[in-house]
Structure 1
Amino acid sequence: MAIREWKRSKLECFLRGTWAPGAQNVIDLYLDGGVTFKGPIASRPDDTMGIAFAYGRISPQSAAFDRDLAGIAGTQMPVRNFEAALEWTYQWEVADNWFFQPNIQYIMHPGGNVPSPLNPASTSPVPDALVFGMRTTIKF
């Protein structure tokens, strides 16, 4: 029976990217990609597990603006460079057409490495973040 269930498993991948002129856009490069696996457990063929990564690069012009602003103000501040996220999720079917989906995300350089609003006088950026979430879906 486990072999039959394994044949119902399905692996899917995705990759997306975009580029925009840096002189007009704060984020000039964006990439994301991931893998999902339907039926990761033989006894739960309708469950789906996934992992994904996303990356947004702050344009060199926007980073140069941050350096210029710090120089004019005579203060140190973080220079924006990128924001990235790594995510794991698992969607399980609780009942027919009812799903729960927890996820865990690790966000690197939230906001692109902006100064922390909790201490505006500080030269520290917003710290990396670990985020836990839960979604439920009912199809009818």
Structure 2
Amino acid sequence: PDSDGLYAVNEWRWKDADRRDWAAFLQGGWSPAASNPVLGYIGAGVRIQGLNATRPADVLTLGVAQARLNSLPSETVIEAVYSLQLARHLYLQPDIQHIQNPGGESGHQWVAGLRVHIEH
């Protein structure tokens, strides 16, 4: 089936008095009801780098997102991610999410993940 829609993202960046890097983001999307199971999406969050002065490359990201589903309750996700720089090209990234109405089903779920990122 045909599928179409719109998606937009915006990000704002700044430094605070302690020289920490901050970013806030807002994202959203829309699709016609007839062709997609997701009618709309909105997400927002904040990212902070340099929270700990002894670990200036570490990054904390907090976000919330909601997907409006076709004929089902909306799914909402609250997420926290922390990126630890272990070595110059090696990062460890734990992630935890709380999902309300996963897949449009009533209830909630917790999801945790761990990612290893190697740059070359």
Q: TM-score range by the shorter chain?
A: 0.7 to 0.9
The structural deviation recorded for 1:45 is 0.5
Identity percentage over the alignment? 32
Match 1:134 to one of 107, 111, 114: 114
The structural deviation recorded for 1:81 is 1.4
The reply on whether 1:18 has 2:22 as its aligned counterpart is no
Match 1:110 to one of 99, 102, 115: 102
Match of 2:93 in 1: 101
Match of 2:65 in 1: 54
Pairing 1:54-93 to 2, within 5 Å after superposition: 54-59=65-70, 63=71, 80-93=72-85
Query: 1: distance between equivalents of 2:86 and 2:35?
Result: 47
In our comparison, the structure showing a higher alpha carbon Rg is 1
SS at match of 1:111: helix
TM (normalized to structure 2)? 0.80
Query: 2: distance between equivalents of 1:47 and 1:32?
Result: 23
* Counterpart residue type for residue 24 of structure 1: S
Q: Larger relative CO (CA 8 A, sep 6+): 1 or 2?
A: 1
Query: 2: distance between equivalents of 1:23 and 1:29?
Result: 13
* Counterpart residue type for residue 48 of structure 1: V
* Counterpart residue type for residue 128 of structure 1: H
Match of 1:73 in 2: none
Match of 2:39 in 1: 28
Query: 2: distance between equivalents of 1:139 and 1:131?
Result: 26
Structure 2 residue runs without a partner (length 5+):
1-17
The structural deviation recorded for 1:29 is 1.0
Structure 1 residue runs without a partner (length 5+):
1-5, 64-79, 114-124
Higher strand share: 2
The structural deviation recorded for 1:87 is 0.3
Show structure 1 runs of 4+ deviating over 6 A: none
Count, aligned residues: 104
